[in-house]
Chain A
Amino acid sequence: MAETTHTEISPDTTLEGEVTAIGDLDGKARIGAPSGTGERPAAIDGFTEEGESLPGGDDGTGQLGFKKHSHGNAPVVPEASRGERRRSFDLADFPTLTGLEEDWRFTPLKRLRGLHTDALSGTAPGIEVGGAGNVTVETVGRGDARLGSAATPEDRVSAAAWNAFTEATVITIPKETVADGEVMVKVTGSTSEAAAQHILIHAEAFSKAVVVLDHSGSVTLAQNVEIIVGDGAQLTVVSVQEWDDDAVHVSSQQAKVGRDARYKHVVVSLGGDLVRLTPSSIFTATGAEVEMYGLYFADAGQHLEQRLLVDHAVPNCKSRVTYKGALQGVDAHTVWVGDVLIRKAAEGTDTYETNRNLILTDGARSDSVPNLEIETGLIEGAGHASATGRFDDEHLFYLMARGIPEKAARRLVVRGFLTEVIQQIKVPALEERLSESVERELAAGNL
């Protein structure tokens, strides 16, 4: 895996590899220096400037640096490839979480409020689906054969949710149908008991629709959203998290993308105490294109995490990932991990993923980890970029020295930064609402 071999903390610099940027905690102004002055790369345990330092005594038969795989009490063994990550409907296949697991290492488990340990027996948040008359909406029992056809849990919370839900919502856009409006799925929570929810969205062949999952209220929710994008279908799924301040939401949103299909997935995470989304796009046939966008705005104390997977398993597909985040306030924490896997068979793949973060105040932390794994050289293109910049006194001075008042200057920067993602939604009423939400976030931070 093209996992990182070194880290730099350097504002305004485009980096490849893992980036952690932390706003100055000591409050020292960085004034007078031109931006982009590189600080010394921070050390990572086990890594030197030459790369990973390998433990001695390797007998050459195992994978470099890793202990041999064994069951039982073995230390955590990272998967050799993202494609090998365990997938199972059986909760027992996922060991109890310790927080040291690669895919949980940034998540504060204590704040999951039992989603990873408890029976998810609480009342699931209410679901109301409206907006398009020619789309089928069903509530089905867990025995329905369609459930689980598009997605298999990839982590413990997702598996727990699979095992706990009692009924599921199935939204079907029939074959060759263009939805006669945006499908608005209002998910409203009213209790903080740990609960599970299951949603299946099936865009049948050559259909066309926009589905908005609009999350609000108060929850402790483990959610699986499975998405099937049929051959030649065009589907946009927007997942908006405008939860109440105390909400905890862990959501797996896996899509299987058919031949020549167009799939767009947009994440907007603004509200909630802890929101952890794992959207994935798995190509199942050639000629498909996927765009995945994300916007997150973390305030003091909020943890907003997104872990993506784009699985290029078949030839001649294209993917673009663009996630942008803003952070303000002490202990605002965002995590973005973007895994792109180009399997041996996926010749002709064209992929690029980008993550940009903007740290507005001291005390916030942003982690960004783009991973690109390439098993064939016969591709069109593959790249990734990550940059984390700090909006500091020098930026403010520059804009104010051009006559722009302080508040307007800050808003100018944040609005400009986040608008790119909002514009991808293409639902004017929702775009407007989310722009206003971003304005409120800014106002709340006294910016």
Chain B
Amino acid sequence: MTTLAIKDLYVSIDTEQGNVPILKGVTLTINTGETHAIMGPNGSGKSTLASTIAGHPRYKVDSGSITLDGEDVLSMSVDERARAGLFLAMQYPVEVPGVTMTNFLRTAKTALDGEAPSLRHWTKDVKTAMAQLRIDADFAQRNVNEGFSGGEKKRVEILQLELFRPKFAILDETDSGLDVDALKVVSEGVNREHSKGEMGTLLITHYTRILRYIKPDFVHVFVAGRIAEEGGPELADRLEEEGYDRFTAQSAVEA
């Protein structure tokens, strides 16, 4: 079992208006096999947490720690984190000019595993995974994300999740912008990988609807840069009925 531990994390960003604190003391521990949902209103810092774990240079860690089985994640470069087993399914996957999906997937797999995948198996794995996620075969020859629709980009993120087999998957609002059919396809992909029992999942979402397809073990409600409430799946049900008003009102009073 592997453990991703986030302790008392403070993160800020530099803007033209100066330094803005976003995360204000986040503590969270995820183990292999667990699914944690992080829910919260816009601007609460959910995506900042995801990007900080992956090492996006925009986010500055002011204090606190992130460790993977005790190893200091914050001292690793972005690619080292990926090779250590962290995977971020991005909210806005970028289009990468000049690199075909096929070339990209094989290069990444080689970098992650430290050796090139056996060509025969790899080609078959890619084909199978693409078919399961209902991604057209011709996407393999297209440049990474270039001209893909929002839903196609999200499916391609999950394709990578299934092919790269990370120790921890962080899904940053993977559900946003998906129609019901695409949401099901994407959720099935996550569940397929999760069910192998070798991955922990951190599911970041604004809406509760994805939780009908991906069942969380734990739910954390993010408000104003910290966890305002934690609980089991029942907390998600309550949020679905009541919304975030209860938390945002409370946070406004505190402020």
The yes or no answer to B93 lying at the interface (CB within 8 A) is yes
**Given contacts A36-B95, A398-B94, A405 and B100 within 8 Å (CB-CB):** no
Alpha-carbon distance between A36 and B148 when the two chains are bound, in angstroms = 12
Report B-chain residues with C-beta under 8 Å of the C-beta of A394: 94
Query: Contact flags (1/0) for A364-397 with B, using CB distance below 8 Å?
Result: 0000000000000000000000000101011101
Alpha-carbon distance between A408 and B83 when the two chains are bound, in angstroms = 14
The yes or no answer to B205 lying at the interface (CB within 8 A) is no
Verify A405–B99 contact, CB threshold 8 A: no
Verify A389–B97 contact, CB threshold 8 A: yes
Of A35, A356, A413, the residue contacting B99 (CB under 8 A) is A413
Alpha-carbon distance between A403 and B55 when the two chains are bound, in angstroms = 12
The yes or no answer to A416 lying at the interface (CB within 8 A) is yes
Query: Closest approach, in angstroms, between the C-beta of B149 and any C-beta of chain A?
Result: 13
Of all chain A residues, the one with the shortest Cβ separation from B58 is A31
Report A-chain residues with C-beta under 8 Å of the C-beta of B107: 404, 408, 412
The yes or no answer to B112 lying at the interface (CB within 8 A) is yes
A-side interface size class:
20 to 34
Verify B96–A400 contact, CB threshold 8 A: no
The yes or no answer to A8 lying at the interface (CB within 8 A) is no
Verify A402–B96 contact, CB threshold 8 A: no
Residues of chain A in range 27-74 having any CB-CB distance to chain B below 8 Å: 29, 31-32, 34-36
Residues of chain B in range 89-119 having any CB-CB distance to chain A below 8 Å: 90, 92-100, 103-104, 107-108, 111-112
Verify A399–B160 contact, CB threshold 8 A: no
Verify B82–A402 contact, CB threshold 8 A: yes
Verify A403–B79 contact, CB threshold 8 A: yes
Of A356, A397, A403, the residue contacting B111 (CB under 8 A) is A403
Verify B108–A416 contact, CB threshold 8 A: no
**Given contacts A400-B79, A402-B164, A403-B111, A395 and B94 within 8 Å (CB-CB):** yes
**Given contacts A401-B78, A401-B82, A406-B79, A416 and B111 within 8 Å (CB-CB):** no
Report A-chain residues with C-beta under 8 Å of the C-beta of B160: 402
Verify B94–A412 contact, CB threshold 8 A: no
The yes or no answer to B132 lying at the interface (CB within 8 A) is no
Verify B94–A414 contact, CB threshold 8 A: no
Alpha-carbon distance between A400 and B87 when the two chains are bound, in angstroms = 11
**Given contacts A397-B57, A413-B97, A402 and B112 within 8 Å (CB-CB):** yes
Of all chain B residues, the one with the shortest Cβ separation from A394 is B94
Alpha-carbon distance between A415 and B79 when the two chains are bound, in angstroms = 20
The yes or no answer to B54 lying at the interface (CB within 8 A) is yes
Of B58, B77, B108, the residue contacting A402 (CB under 8 A) is B108
Verify A412–B104 contact, CB threshold 8 A: yes
The yes or no answer to B56 lying at the interface (CB within 8 A) is yes
Verify A398–B108 contact, CB threshold 8 A: no
Alpha-carbon distance between A335 and B164 when the two chains are bound, in angstroms = 41
The yes or no answer to A193 lying at the interface (CB within 8 A) is no
**Given contacts A398-B90, A412-B104, A416-B103, A12 and B97 within 8 Å (CB-CB):** yes
Of B77, B92, B98, B164, the residue contacting A414 (CB under 8 A) is B98
Query: Closest approach, in angstroms, between the C-beta of B137 and any C-beta of chain A?
Result: 19
The yes or no answer to A438 lying at the interface (CB within 8 A) is no
The yes or no answer to A358 lying at the interface (CB within 8 A) is yes
The yes or no answer to B88 lying at the interface (CB within 8 A) is yes
Report B-chain residues with C-beta under 8 Å of the C-beta of A358: 97-98
Alpha-carbon distance between A46 and B108 when the two chains are bound, in angstroms = 49
The yes or no answer to A352 lying at the interface (CB within 8 A) is no
Query: Closest approach, in angstroms, between the C-beta of B255 and any C-beta of chain A?
Result: 24
Report B-chain residues with C-beta under 8 Å of the C-beta of A356: 97
Residue of B81, B90, B107, B143 most packed against chain A (CB within 10 A):
B107
The yes or no answer to A106 lying at the interface (CB within 8 A) is no
Residues of chain B in range 56-73 having any CB-CB distance to chain A below 8 Å: 56-58
Report B-chain residues with C-beta under 8 Å of the C-beta of A389: 97
Query: Closest approach, in angstroms, between the C-beta of A296 and any C-beta of chain B?
Result: 15
Query: Closest approach, in angstroms, between the C-beta of B193 and any C-beta of chain A?
Result: 16
The yes or no answer to A94 lying at the interface (CB within 8 A) is no
Verify A405–B103 contact, CB threshold 8 A: no
Report A-chain residues with C-beta under 8 Å of the C-beta of B54: 401
Query: Closest approach, in angstroms, between the C-beta of A9 and any C-beta of chain B?
Result: 16
Report A-chain residues with C-beta under 8 Å of the C-beta of B87: 401
Of all chain A residues, the one with the shortest Cβ separation from B103 is A416
Report A-chain residues with C-beta under 8 Å of the C-beta of B97: 12, 356, 358, 389, 391, 395, 413, 417
Verify B96–A413 contact, CB threshold 8 A: yes
Report B-chain residues with C-beta under 8 Å of the C-beta of A402: 82, 104, 108, 111-112, 160, 164
Of B77, B92, B103, the residue contacting A412 (CB under 8 A) is B103
Residues of chain B in range 101-150 having any CB-CB distance to chain A below 8 Å: 103-104, 107-108, 111-112, 143-144, 146
Query: Contact flags (1/0) for B196-224 with A, using CB distance below 8 Å?
Result: 00000000000000000000000000000
Verify B58–A29 contact, CB threshold 8 A: yes
Alpha-carbon distance between A402 and B94 when the two chains are bound, in angstroms = 13
Alpha-carbon distance between A144 and B103 when the two chains are bound, in angstroms = 52
Verify A400–B104 contact, CB threshold 8 A: no
Report A-chain residues with C-beta under 8 Å of the C-beta of B99: 399, 412-413, 416-417
Report A-chain residues with C-beta under 8 Å of the C-beta of B78: 397, 400-401
Alpha-carbon distance between A34 and B92 when the two chains are bound, in angstroms = 6
**Given contacts A397-B78, A416-B103, A404 and B94 within 8 Å (CB-CB):** no
Verify B100–A400 contact, CB threshold 8 A: no
Of all chain B residues, the one with the shortest Cβ separation from A419 is B98
Of all chain B residues, the one with the shortest Cβ separation from A420 is B98
Of all chain A residues, the one with the shortest Cβ separation from B160 is A402
Report A-chain residues with C-beta under 8 Å of the C-beta of B95: 12, 35-36
Verify B108–A404 contact, CB threshold 8 A: yes
Other CB < 8 Å A-B pairs besides A403-B108, A418-B98, 18 of them? A29-B58, A35-B95, A391-B97, A395-B96, A397-B57, A397-B94, A398-B94, A398-B96, A399-B104, A401-B82, A402-B82, A402-B104, A402-B160, A403-B79, A403-B83, A405-B79, A408-B111, A416-B99
CB-CB nearest 7 A-B residue pairs: A417-B98, A403-B82, A402-B108, A400-B78, A403-B111, A403-B112, A34-B92
Contacts A/B (CB < 8 Å), 5 sampled: A34-B92, A401-B54, A403-B79, A403-B82, A416-B98
- Residues of A whose CB lies within 8 Å of any CB of B are 12, 29, 31-32, 34-36, 356, 358, 389, 391, 393-395, 397-406, 408-409, 412-418
